[in-house]
Amino acid sequence: MVLQGLYFYYNSMEIKDTFIEGLKIITPDVFYDNRGYFYESYNERRFFDAGLTMKFVQDNESMSQRGVLRGLHFQNPPYAQGKLIRVIKGEVMDVVVDLRKTSSTYGQHYKLILNDTNKLMFYIPEGFAHGFVTLKDDTVFSYKCTAFYNKQSEGGIMWDDKTLNIDWNIENPIISEKDKLNISFKDFISPF
């Protein structure tokens, strides 16, 4: 009886605003029993009720070792992407930077720890640069996108940009050769 009742309450989740307009932290209700756990990672009705009326068209997943830093990435319009992100296994410190030039928080960043224990999700709308650093080996990072990836539209800002002053809490991250070519924030001209 208890196990059957497990699924009667599964569509409950909390969606909270952050100090940066549009960024949302989603806390799902996770139900554990002797078999493991269950939770609903996306529910269109709940998202729409919270004003998140986006349509997702692509899912992506990466696996990284501890100390890998990916970012700060974005897609330029008209291929800009909103993202719903989560960690399936492991842990990351996730970072976003507001690139919307008319925003009162332009150039400010927000950090959030996502892991397979807290099961938090993060909705990042269009107009943000996004990156993360992995805090555990074999971290599996997953995200839904509101637009298809377009190689000609990709952009990036240096992870260690002095203007942004992001404390990644890591000294020598593992960075791709491509990300080493990202531009500084002072040289960035926002298309958002």
* Contact between residue 170 and residue 64 where contact means Cβ atoms under 8 Å apart: no
Closest by Cα among 10, 7, 27, 3 to 123? 27
Distance CA 86, CA 61 (A): 10
Distance CA 42, CA 149 (A): 21
164: β partners: none
> Which member of 73, 110, 123, 130 is catalytic?
73
Active site residue 149: no
Tokens coding 49: 């009720």
Tokens coding 120: 């938090």
Q: Is 87 helix (H, G, I), strand (E, B) or coil?
A: strand
> Which member of 110, 123, 130, 143 is catalytic?
143
Distance CA 192, CA 155 (A): 12
Active site residue 109: no
Active site residues: 73, 143
